[in-house]
Structure 1
Amino acid sequence: MEASASAQLESLVEIPAVYKDPWYMITVLSLYLYFVTKAGPQFMESRKPLKLKQIILAHNVIQVVSCIYVIREVLYLTHNEILYFWKCTDNGSTPERVQRYYSLAFFIFWLKMSELLETVIFVLRKKQNQVSKLHVFHHISTVTLAYLLINVNQNGTAAYFCAFLNSIVHVIMYSYYFVAAVADKPLIEALTPVKKSITVTQMGQFVLILTQVPAQLVLCGMQPLVLLYFTTVIIGMFYGFYDFYTSAYQVSQRGKSQTPPSDSKK
């Protein structure tokens, strides 16, 4: 009866075509992929890198504020019980809560769309080395997960566990990016351990998300295709960040340890 009542409430919410029709999303992501891998680099090839510091600072602030909003809304929708990720939930027991569920899902969709700007900024600043396969995969896949949250979620507000953890990580990450963009060189060097910790935190969130999957599958049930796609994406992200961590930090650390000490008598 509760599931039926929840379904009736959800039917009262009209999902606009821009969220429901996947071709809107596919078109944007296709244009994004084309620009950051081909059109953008070709356009910038004979041009000087653009100075976009003010845009970068504004983007970081918007991301931090937006993620704080997501955290607050998730806590409200789950009655502050989002960390009990194994619980089966619905999208709301009142029209107001169901509407807030979808409003937050719509907001997250556009938030993930806005994150595509990061790659565009890399291209316009001629930082093409930062447009890695992991970076592009991460941004494209998060948009698709937001689409699934709107259209095929059958696990209620428990599905916001992923967005909740990711928003916490992003508050830390974009705050660091903001400080790094305005700080002087000595402070940036002092904050280097923070950058490493952010990568570890990102991997930690994926472990927690993957822990939720079997709990929700056994206790609440999940659509097989959604389960397969979601799990594949999260595992892919974890592997990508782990590979980055080992290549960026562990390899460099081994290089330092193998460097012969300088002779202070020379």
Structure 2
Amino acid sequence: MDAAISIEHPELMVTPWFMIAVLVLYLIFVLRIGPNFMLNRRPYELKTLIIVHNIVQVVSCVYVVYEILHITENHIIYFWKCSALEFVGEKTKRHFKLAYFLFWLKLSELIETIIFVLRKKQNQVTKLHVFHHISTITLIYLLINHNSNGFDALFPIFLNSIIHIIMYSYYLVAAVADKSIIRALTPVKKSITVMQMGQFSLILIHAILTSMNCGVDKAAFIYFIFVIILMFYGFYDFYQISYKSSKRRKSAVVAESAEAAAAVNKTK
């Protein structure tokens, strides 16, 4: 029988103040200091940083998926079942080591927004983008300090890491490929957005099943559901604006061209 273990979290993760300080500095830089700094400057290329960042994210997410499968003995795919988090055994130690790794990984993802600012792509610093990065860090903080749902809480991270492997791989290819290849990969970008919405749908289903069958901390559950619904709506809105609107614009251009051609033919 496994002996009980004592879990002492790193000091920076025990209280929210370090996280709050980092997120406040992040917001100040990406919304105020950064744009003002770049106002009369040329955009930085930062190609090497982008490539390194994407490689780190892909490798890290592969590691996260591997660890979750190992910790849960592949049972993570049975997301409708409950699992208890007892402070015993090697798996619990690995669970929390993974949570600490995720905390720093999510903080490292903030670099993505800083890159947008320094490349003068402030239009990409959307409310959805900023909210997504901030909320995921707060959710990892809850995973470390307020997780009463055992390894069930790893299911959203498992799904998200799989999506991130695909997403950051696409970003990596886009960073090194020529324009013709990037144009050819445009459908992949659209598919990634669809996959994002799909993962949030599955995460919502999982959260509801967990709350009904396993019992959850009510405050953490409400916050989690709030975050996931907002992110689903944000990605859905982005999809409508980026892909449906552009499709309608193309249809309108084709229709206008056809009408113009018909008018010319009539005058002949």
Give the TM-score of the pair, scaled to structure 1. Answer: 0.94
Q: How many Å separate the matches in 1 of 2:121 and 2:85?
A: 42
Task: Give the drift of 1:46.
Answer: 1.6
Structure 2, unpaired ranges of 5+: none
Displaced runs of 4 or more, over 6 A: none
SS at structure 1 position matched to 2:141 = helix
Q: Tell whether 2:176 aligns with 1:214.
A: no
Q: Deviations over 1:17-73 (max 9, x none)?
A: 111110000000000001000011111112111110000000000000000000000
Residue 46 (str. 1) matches residue 44 (str. 2): no
Question: Are 2:193 and 1:193 equivalent residues in the alignment?
Answer: no
Instruction: Indicate the larger mover: 237-246 or 43-52.
Output: 43-52
Structure 1 unaligned blocks of 5 or more: none
**1-structure distance, mates of 2:86, 2:61:** 22
Alpha-carbon offset, residue 93 of structure 1: 7.1
Q: Deviations over 1:159-201 (max 9, x none)?
A: 0000000000000000000001111111111100000000000
Structural mapping, 1:152-231, within 5 Å: 152-231=146-225
Q: Is the 8 A contact 1:78 1:157 kept in 2?
A: yes
- Separation in structure 2 between the aligned mates of residue 91 and residue 61 of structure 1, nearest angstrom: 32
Answer yes or no: is 1:28 the counterpart of 2:17. Answer: no
Relative to structure 1, is the Cα distance of residues 171 and 92 closer, same or farther in structure 2, using a 3 angstrom cutoff? farther
SS of residue paired to 1:112? helix
Q: Could you tell me whether the CA contact under 8 Å between 1:29 and 1:140 is conserved in 2?
A: yes
Whole-Å Cα distance in 1 between the matches of residues 9 and 180 of structure 2? 50
TM-aligned CA deviation for residue 95 of structure 1: 2.5
> Which residue identity does 1:85 align to in structure 2?
F
The reply on whether 1:37 has 2:31 as its aligned counterpart is yes
1:64 aligns with 2:89: no
Among 124, 130, 141, the residue aligned to 1:147: 141
Count of matched residue positions in the alignment of Structure 1 and Structure 2 = 260
- How many angstroms does 1:224 deviate by? 0.9
Q: Match of 1:82, SS?
A: helix
| Matching residue of 1:81 | 75
RMSD across aligned C-alpha pairs, in angstroms?
1.8
Identity of paired residues, percent?
A: 57
Q: Which amino acid aligns with 2:174?
A: A
Q: Is the 8 A contact 1:109 1:143 kept in 2?
A: yes
CA contact (8 A) 1:92 1:101 kept: no
1:92 is displaced (CA, Å) by 5.6
Identify which of 102, 124, 131 aligns with 2:118.
124
Matched, 1:14 2:8: yes
